Amino acid sequence: MEIDVRKEGQAVIISLTGRMDAVSAPQFDRTAEDLLAQGDRRIIIDFVALEYISSAGLQSILALAKRLEPVDGDVILCNLGGPVKEVFDISGFSIIFPIFDSLADAKASG
């Protein structure tokens, strides 16, 4: 999995490419930990190029959201498609997180 991180205004955008599974989720966890240590509180995760997510990937995203909760932070998701969207729907995660169809909509949400 490739992770691209960029800041735009008050938000940090994490773009994921490839597969987020038990092998690559720890890489995401380290990236999230670095962002939290820097004081970032509004994180948008862009799934436009993510082909697959496993339960380990879902757990990493949930862990990030739980760590942001006490500091009034947000995790916002966008561009879920195909099998990734199916996993979110089946797991019930699609009702836990704000999900937008595009990055532009996600950025405008806050």
94-110 per-position pLDDT tens digit: 999 999 999 999 999 97
pLDDT of res. 102 = 97
The sheet with strand 74-78 has its strands ordered as 2-8, 11-20, 42-53, 74-78, 99-100
pLDDT of res. 64 = 98
pLDDT of res. 37 = 96
Domain that holds residue 44: 2-108
Q: Which residues pair with 8 in a beta bridge?
A: 11
The domain that holds 63 is classified in CATH as 3.30.750.24
48-97 per-position pLDDT tens digit: 999 999 999 999 999 999 999 999 999 999 999 999 999 999 999 999 99
Quick one: CA torsion of 65, 86, 13, 5, rounded to 10 degrees?
100
pLDDT of res. 76 = 98
What's the structural domain count of the chain? 1
Confidence at 25, pLDDT banded by 50, 70, 90: very high
